[in-house]
């Protein structure tokens, strides 16, 4: 099967990642349909993209014409049917398998049969999403990193069901977005999170047992390993609810104690201290 070129991209979800993804795709010249459950939050994504563009113009990195043409390429909607003509739809809703499965069942009904259905999940088993559709060969993972506008990597995840054409088209899309695409099998955490999260979790463990303060641990990992931010600042950036879901999915798959989420993390999520997005996590913002 030869795949049609990707020109129209659907993004579902208007959270941290959905908004970033929409911006990256629109800036790369794709037509983008952003779908959120409320029209208000879909419109907010477009407003956020515009704010970024205004900043780029102020810094001399974009022109008014570019701003207009990028904004003209984004359609905001609360209607799933508006995704019908998309060549690829990337969902970026909450990290919850049941929610994502229900969404893929709906997408199967509304998106044209040749459309690729992709997920930005950080850890969940993509084959399970593929199997609720009638096109498992067209389902894969396209995992952007946070913030999507800045981070150069995209993991292209191959579930056992995906065709080579789907993986090639998804990789080509990521490359066209200016990203480095790496291919990886459908295993919890893929490459980056499978290696990163034991480290983040063990930082919380180190703090819980009183080895050092979180400020000292962050300072140490910046200065000692040349990381741009320490583990607690990174957890706050990722979102503690998302981090907890990632650890739970990794633990469920591998049963490795390094993936067993530290009690503090679970309690902070229960308390609604989710990091930057709620202005309070390990630090206050």
Ligand X SMILES: NC(=O)c1ccc[n+]([C@@H]2O[C@H](COP(=O)([O-])OP(=O)(O)OC[C@H]3O[C@@H](n4cnc5c(N)ncnc54)[C@H](O)[C@@H]3O)[C@@H](O)[C@H]2O)c1
From residue 159 to residue 198, what is the string marking binding to ligand X with x (rule CB under 6 A)?
A: ----------------------------------------
Residue 273 annotated in active site = no
Point out the catalytic residue in the list 14, 143, 171, 201. 143
Choice from 111, 121, 173, 186 touching ligand X (CB under 6 A): 121
Nearer to ligand X, 53 or 238 (CB): 238
Nearest approach, Cβ of residue 201 and ligand X (Å): 15
Q: Which residues are within 8 A (CB) of 181 and not within 5 positions of it... i.e. 6 or more apart?
A: 154, 155, 156, 170, 171, 174, 175
| Catalytic residue flag (residue 193) | yes
CB of 60 to ligand X, least distance (A): 30
x/- string (CB under 6 A) for ligand X, residues 10-49? ---xxxxxx-----------------xx------------
Binding-site size for ligand X (CB under 6 A) equals 24
* Stretch of 117-125, 152-160, 171-179, 213-221 contacting ligand X, by CB under 6 A: 117-125
Q: How far is the CB of 13 from ligand X (least distance, A)?
A: 4
Q: How far, CA to CA in Å, does 166 sit from each of 101, 137, 171, 271?
A: 19, 7, 9, 41
Q: Is 133 in the site for ligand X (CB under 6 A)?
A: no
Residue whose entry in the numeric block shows the structure tokens 């999520």: 269
> Which residue among the candidates 91, 155, 245, 273 is catalytic per the annotation?
155
Site map (CB under 6 A) of ligand X, residues 225-254, x = contact: -------------xx--x------------
**In whole angstroms, how close is the CB of 242 to ligand X at the nearest point?**
5
Q: Select the residue whose beta carbon is closest to ligand X and give its number.
A: 15
* Binding of residue 92 to ligand X (CB under 6 A): yes
Residues that bind ligand X (CB under 6 A): 13-18, 36-37, 92-95, 99, 120-122, 143-146, 238-239, 242, 277
Residues forming the active site: 122, 143, 155, 193
């Amino acid at each position: 099967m030869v795949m049609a070129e990707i020109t129209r991209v659907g993004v579902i979800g208007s959270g941290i990642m959905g908004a970033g993804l929409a911006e990256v795709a629109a800036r790369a010249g794709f037509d983008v349909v952003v779908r959120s459950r409320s029209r208000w939050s879909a419109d907010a994504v477009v407003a956020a993209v515009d704010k970024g563009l205004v900043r780029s113009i102020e810094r001399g990195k974009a022109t008014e014409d570019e701003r207009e043409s990028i904004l003209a390429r984004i359609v905001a909607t609360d209607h799933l049917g508006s995704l019908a003509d998309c060549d690829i739809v990337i969902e970026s809703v909450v990290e919850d398998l049941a929610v994502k499965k229900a969404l893929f069942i709906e997408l199967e009904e509304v998106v044209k049969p040749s459309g690729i259905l992709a997920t930005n999940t950080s850890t969940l088993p993509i084959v399970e999403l593929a199997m609720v559709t009638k096109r498992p060969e067209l389902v894969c993972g396209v995992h952007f990193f946070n913030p999507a506008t800045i981070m150069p990597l995209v993991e292209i995840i191959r579930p056992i069901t995906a065709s080579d054409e789907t993986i090639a088209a998804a990789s080509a899309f990521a490359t066209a977005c200016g990203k480095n695409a790496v291919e990886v099998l459908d295993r919890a955490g893929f490459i980056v999170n499978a290696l990163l999260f034991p480290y983040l979790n063990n930082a919380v463990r180190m703090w819980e047992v009183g080895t050092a303060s979180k400020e000292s641990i962050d300072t140490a990992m910046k200065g000692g390993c040349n990381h741009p931010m320490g583990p607690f600042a990174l957890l706050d950036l990722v979102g503690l609810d998302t981090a907890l879901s990632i650890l739970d999915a990794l633990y469920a798959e591998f049963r490795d104690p390094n993936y067993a989420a530290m009690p503090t993390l679970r309690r902070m999520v229960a308390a609604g201290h989710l990091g930057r997005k709620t202005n309070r996590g390990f630090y206050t913002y």
